[in-house]
Amino acid sequence: MALPAAGRGVLSPLPYTELPAPAGLRLWWLRLDEMPGDQALATLSADEIARGARFAFDGLRRRHLASHVALRAILAQQTGLPAAALVFGAGPFGKPFLQAPAACVFNMSHSDDVAVIAVAPDAPAGTEIGVDVEVLRPMRDAIALAERNFTAAEQRELLATPPELRDLAFMRGWTRKEACLKAIGSGLSIPPDAVDAGLGPELRRVTVAHQAVHCSVHVQSLADQDATVIAVATT
């Protein structure tokens, strides 16, 4: 659906689909199959443009630029700041954050030509969020991948899943793990098999304990959107 005017952003209305979201969050689903126009590209920083230019393939460059234009447009709508004026920082493992206003917490994920952006506009201090999206596709090596990346309980859950639902179950498990690790801000410095997020869609409290990290996150899967699997996690 079309959203209200984007405030001081350049996209008005935002051409993205807003998804039903858990309390305190807003989520947008968007396609990255078109290169943004010059006016939209002008909102990006020199670093964002330079990183896009380093991609060898046109499709990867387009996805990078389109996702960052979308992120700035959404954050401009949420903060009332001009899209071009937003300044980002990065955590120790590369997780981006908005330097000001710091209370507007966000996260972004993309898979092929699809992206999902999650925002917690009025999150309490210290709140972090993580979102992950994967395009649903045949996973002929799902069992082998699970043996390397899933907990023992998750492997049993996958084996017990009917074969016709196994691809979806695998993708749900993977996106839930990724969302948890992104919320923590660790990326894959913590191995996926240290996160027992389950393969079902329900809300779950997950305790992550790995070396010096010991924390809890809440993760849940969202309703499938156009053959994509989405999970979101909050600390």
Q: Is there a contact between 105 and 120 (Cβ–Cβ < 8 Å)?
A: yes
> Is residue 5 one of the residues assigned to a domain?
no
> Is residue 3 one of the residues assigned to a domain?
no
**What residue numbers bound the domain in which 110 lies?**
17-127
Name the domain boundary from 105, 127, 149: 127
Q: Do 109 and 147 belong together in one domain?
A: no
> Is residue 6 one of the residues assigned to a domain?
no
Token pair listed for 183: 């919320």
Q: Do 24 and 37 belong together in one domain?
A: yes
Pairing between strand 114-120 and 17-19?
A: unpaired
Average pLDDT over the chain, rounded to an integer = 91
Give the CATH number of the domain where residue 73 resides: 3.90.470.20
Where does residue 102 rank: exposed (0-12), middle (13-18), buried (19+ CB within 10 A)?
exposed
- Which has the higher per-residue pLDDT, 170 or 215? 170
Please state the domain count of the chain. 2
Q: Do 31 and 100 belong together in one domain?
A: yes
Name the domain boundary from 81, 103, 127: 127
> Is residue 77 one of the residues assigned to a domain?
yes
Q: Do 178 and 222 belong together in one domain?
A: yes
Least confident of 89-93, 99-103, 172-176: 99-103
> Is residue 75 one of the residues assigned to a domain?
yes
> Is residue 1 one of the residues assigned to a domain?
no
Contacts of 141 (CB under 8 A, 6+ apart): none
Q: Do 153 and 229 belong together in one domain?
A: yes
Q: Do 155 and 208 belong together in one domain?
A: yes
Name the domain boundary from 94, 127, 160: 127
Token pair listed for 80: 């009332």
How confident is the model over 171-196, as a mean pLDDT? 92
Q: Do 30 and 55 belong together in one domain?
A: yes
SS3 labels along the chain: CCCCCCCCCCCCCCCCEEECCCCCCEEEEEECCCCCCHHHHCCCCHHHHHHHHCCCCHHHHHHHHHHHHHHHHHHHHHHCCCHHHCCEEECCCCCEEECCCCCCEEEEEEECCEEEEEEECCCCCCCCEEEEEEECCCCCCHHHHHHHHCCHHHHHHHHHCCHHHHHHHHHHHHHHHHHHHHHHCCHHHCCHHHCCCCCCCCCEEEEEEECCEEEEEEEEECCCCCCEEEEEEEC
How confident is the model over 146-175, as a mean pLDDT? 97
Q: Do 100 and 147 belong together in one domain?
A: no
- Which has the higher per-residue pLDDT, 108 or 226? 108
> Is residue 10 one of the residues assigned to a domain?
no
Q: Do 123 and 23 belong together in one domain?
A: yes
